[in-house]
Chain A
Amino acid sequence: MILPFLVIYMVFLIYPFFRGIWISFHDWNLLAVAFNPDAKEFVGLKNYSRVMWGKNITWSFFHSPFWQTGAVILALVTFWAKDAGRLKSSLAWLIIFIAFLIFFVMGLYPDEGGRWYDRRFWPTVANTILFVALTVPSVTFVALFLAAALNRETRAMGVLRTLFFLSNVLSVTVVTLIWQIMFSPRQGLVANITEAFGGSPIIWLTDVQFAMAAIVITTVWWSIGIAMILFLAGMQDISAELYEAGALDNAKGLKAFWFITLPNLKRTMTVVVVLQIILHFQVFGQVHLMTNGGPNDTTQVLVRYIYQTAFRDSELGRAAVMAVFLFVIMGGFSAIQLILGREES
């Protein structure tokens, strides 16, 4: 009974996963191997160093003072919060671990005469993190606000919810099609409206300052619905009695939201945030179609770099290394989600 699933699952997910790791240990040119299966060569960890390491890489205490001191402060604050009983210890240790990771990683730099072997990899990772850091809070706040406002079972609210959710079912290519032309300086609706108000059009998608913003706006527009739905589901689980009790203490409207809704939404909040981090870390379509990673690589993201390395540069080995890197990060977040979910139930 379980065999059909297990066979397909093993062949098309588990086996490819291990094969990916295997590929990452090889010097593997897509075209060369296609013509001659023996053209690959086992190189051990060389691909890993070619992607992530460099020549004369050194570490110093305060190479980037902002991030490193920030990480130390974060760790200390978390430690204090844990001791004061404000934070669950598992979560606290996780944050401290991440802070130390930041502290360590940001201290690495190529010394005199040194360089990163792959100049584009770490900037790409940084762009991806920047994208996630901009998108996830925006989506979360807007969705939370909308869910709170729309949390009533009336026809009008239902229609409004539908309108906000509608963009969520469109495919990434339709979304980029719309927004590419929305942002177009000559034909775009955004430009038309700014011009009508006397502003000069911004060349959104090719301007270093605005390209990432354009991608983020597009993504927020696209993916607000699911977060809103999850929040609504979470809010419906909060019992009405709590609100009735709150009303006796004069907690209504905003107050009720702050003191009753928010504390009871903690679990949903975690789910929404982690889910979105996982989802948006894999951003590909928006960037690939709207900016091609440009201008000047400012919107280049990890999955697009993997795609390019594999299918434009034919360097499967290096691309596989990046895929493993992606898996480690995503797997980390999935594990957090599982652990937090377990703890609650």
Chain B
Amino acid sequence: MLSRSYYALVIVLAIPAFIWLVPTIWMLSLSFQPNDVLARTTSSTGFGLIPIPFTFENFFALFAFGHTPLWFFNSIIVALGMTLGVLVVSTTAGYALARLEFRFKRVVVVICLVGLMIPEQAVFIPLYTMFADFGWHNSYQALILPRVAVPIGVFLMMQFFKGLSKDIEEAARLEGVGWLQIFWYVMLPLARPAMVTLAILTFLYAWNDYLWPLVSAQKREYFTITLGLASIQSNFAQSEGLGRVMASGVIASLPVVGLFLIFQRYVVRAMSVGGSKG
């Protein structure tokens, strides 16, 4: 089955794949090289792709002082908070739209469709003034709430619940179980794969979001790691040292890369479902 041409193809494709990986390897490699060496040259060994001379200095320094640990912690809070919020809101609303009958249901669906068309970049100014009026800037809720309001999750969950067979539900209803219990004890466990998909999509989005945190968090104490990294980028060479900035980059990427490698199947599915739906 696997012919010679197949192996030729693999080898031919391995070259661009390696080239694709080079920038990432370079970041990783630079993060393990001493700053004083990097100040002189970034290509000591193999164009700098091999970390010789080698040191852990940059990572120790990162955690000894500077804001990076705090930013990392903020990112965790914000990403988890947003994920939780999106899950709660999307499963409940998705279930209601898929299974329950209520007035104005069509209206709600249309409003959600409209919402899919509003890009974040078109509302960040009014959102800014609103949160300024509440006095909420530089807070976790300011970083989390606007993103919980995105209708894409509701659509994903609605599609999923619509696809489920009604038999189990009917059986439970005949037993006299209320719909709230059906939702909690029957539907949610069934929806676990869809929820994992949505959770990963949201987490990745939250972790990597840049524009809204940039607008809303002006105090360094409330930066996310993505935003913090941007703030030390501009003056990387002079003050912090190239190796340390690269180490921050590595730290900032660890959770998302790890998440991706562990849940690859879910991530790929999340991307293709989320992508084609909007």
Q: Is B27 in contact with A178, judged by CB distance below 8 angstroms?
A: yes
Q: Is B10 in contact with A160, judged by CB distance below 8 angstroms?
A: yes
Q: Is A173 in contact with B252, judged by CB distance below 8 angstroms?
A: yes
Indicate whether B84 reaches chain A with its CB closer than 8 angstroms.
Answer: no
Q: Mark A1-45, 1 if CB is under 8 A from B, else 0.
A: 110111011011111110110010000000001100000000000
Report B63 CB to chain A, min CB distance, Å: 18
Q: Is A171 in contact with B210, judged by CB distance below 8 angstroms?
A: yes
Indicate whether B245 reaches chain A with its CB closer than 8 angstroms.
Answer: yes
Report A19 CB to chain B, min CB distance, Å: 4
In the complex, the chain A residue whose C-beta lies closest to that of B112 is: A9
Q: Is A173 in contact with B227, judged by CB distance below 8 angstroms?
A: yes
Are A226 and B92 CB-contacts (below 8 A) given A169-B260, A172-B208, A306-B121? no
Q: Is B115 in contact with A150, judged by CB distance below 8 angstroms?
A: no
Interface centre among B96, B227, B230, B236 (most CB of A within 10 A): B230
Indicate whether B66 reaches chain A with its CB closer than 8 angstroms.
Answer: no
Q: Mark A289-319, 1 if CB is under 8 A from B, else 0.
A: 1000000000000010011001100001001
Chain B residue numbers with a CB within 8 Å of A208 are none
Contact with B246, one of A162, A171, A177 (Cβ below 8 angstroms):
A177
Indicate whether B111 reaches chain A with its CB closer than 8 angstroms.
Answer: yes
Indicate whether B148 reaches chain A with its CB closer than 8 angstroms.
Answer: yes
Chain A residue numbers with a CB within 8 Å of B275 are 226, 229-230, 271, 275
Are A6 and B108 CB-contacts (below 8 A) given A173-B227, A189-B22, A229-B275? yes
Indicate whether B168 reaches chain A with its CB closer than 8 angstroms.
Answer: no
Contact with A173, one of B117, B146, B233 (Cβ below 8 angstroms):
B233
Q: How far is the CA of A337 from the CA of B113 in the complex (A)?
A: 12
Q: Is A327 in contact with B93, judged by CB distance below 8 angstroms?
A: no
Indicate whether B62 reaches chain A with its CB closer than 8 angstroms.
Answer: no
Indicate whether A278 reaches chain B with its CB closer than 8 angstroms.
Answer: yes
Contact with A2, one of B6, B108, B204, B236 (Cβ below 8 angstroms):
B108
Name the interface residues of B7-37: CB closer than 8 Å to any CB of A. 9-10, 13-14, 16-18, 20-24, 26-27, 30
Q: How far is the CA of A15 from the CA of B146 in the complex (A)?
A: 11
Contact with A12, one of B111, B127, B268 (Cβ below 8 angstroms):
B127
Contact with A13, one of B100, B149, B233, B259 (Cβ below 8 angstroms):
B149
Report A11 CB to chain B, min CB distance, Å: 7
Q: Mark B106-121, 1 if CB is under 8 A from A, else 0.
A: 0010011111111111
Indicate whether B130 reaches chain A with its CB closer than 8 angstroms.
Answer: yes
Name the interface residues of A44-79: CB closer than 8 Å to any CB of B. none
Q: Is A13 in contact with B123, judged by CB distance below 8 angstroms?
A: yes
Contact with B10, one of A156, A323, A331, A335 (Cβ below 8 angstroms):
A156
Indicate whether B72 reaches chain A with its CB closer than 8 angstroms.
Answer: no
Q: How many residues of B contact A (CB 8 A)?
A: 98
Chain B residue numbers with a CB within 8 Å of A166 are 20-21, 24, 257, 260
Q: Is A230 in contact with B272, judged by CB distance below 8 angstroms?
A: yes
Q: How far is the CA of A16 from the CA of B267 in the complex (A)?
A: 31
Contact with B226, one of A169, A172, A324 (Cβ below 8 angstroms):
A172
Report A262 CB to chain B, min CB distance, Å: 18
Indicate whether B242 reaches chain A with its CB closer than 8 angstroms.
Answer: yes
Indicate whether A201 reaches chain B with its CB closer than 8 angstroms.
Answer: no
Q: Is A4 in contact with B89, judged by CB distance below 8 angstroms?
A: yes
Chain A residue numbers with a CB within 8 Å of B260 are 165-166, 169
Q: Is A330 in contact with B22, judged by CB distance below 8 angstroms?
A: no
Indicate whether A154 reaches chain B with its CB closer than 8 angstroms.
Answer: yes
Q: Which of A87-95, A114-122, A133-141, A179-187 lines the interface with chain B?
A: A179-187
Q: How far is the CA of A204 from the CA of B171 in the complex (A)?
A: 66
Q: Is A192 in contact with B47, judged by CB distance below 8 angstroms?
A: yes
Q: Is A182 in contact with B23, judged by CB distance below 8 angstroms?
A: yes
Q: How far is the CA of A180 from the CA of B233 in the complex (A)?
A: 9
Indicate whether A176 reaches chain B with its CB closer than 8 angstroms.
Answer: yes
Indicate whether B211 reaches chain A with its CB closer than 8 angstroms.
Answer: yes
Chain A residue numbers with a CB within 8 Å of B261 are 162
Q: Is B47 in contact with A193, judged by CB distance below 8 angstroms?
A: yes
Q: Is B13 in contact with A173, judged by CB distance below 8 angstroms?
A: no
Chain A residue numbers with a CB within 8 Å of B16 are 146
Q: How far is the CA of A11 from the CA of B148 in the complex (A)?
A: 11
Contact with A169, one of B126, B204, B237 (Cβ below 8 angstroms):
B204
Interface centre among B100, B108, B211, B259 (most CB of A within 10 A): B211
Q: Is A16 in contact with B127, judged by CB distance below 8 angstroms?
A: yes
Q: Which residues of B contact A (CB under 8 A)?
A: 2, 6, 9-10, 13-14, 16-18, 20-24, 26-27, 30, 38, 41-43, 47-48, 85, 88-90, 92-93, 95-97, 100, 102, 108, 111-130, 132, 145-146, 148-151, 154, 183, 204, 207-208, 210-211, 214-215, 226-227, 229-230, 233-234, 236-237, 242, 245-246, 249, 252-253, 256-257, 259-261, 264, 267-268, 271-272, 275-276, 278
Apart from A17-B123, A166-B260, what are 14 other A-B pairs with CB-CB below 8 Å? A12-B145, A13-B146, A16-B130, A156-B10, A169-B208, A169-B267, A170-B208, A178-B249, A275-B275, A282-B120, A289-B230, A324-B122, A334-B278, A335-B117
A-B contact list, 18 entries, CB within 8 Å: A12-B146, A13-B123, A17-B122, A163-B20, A165-B260, A169-B253, A169-B257, A171-B207, A173-B226, A177-B236, A179-B23, A180-B233, A189-B43, A226-B275, A233-B272, A284-B121, A316-B129, A323-B121
Which A-B residue pairs are the 3 nearest by beta carbons? Answer: A5-B93, A171-B208, A12-B149
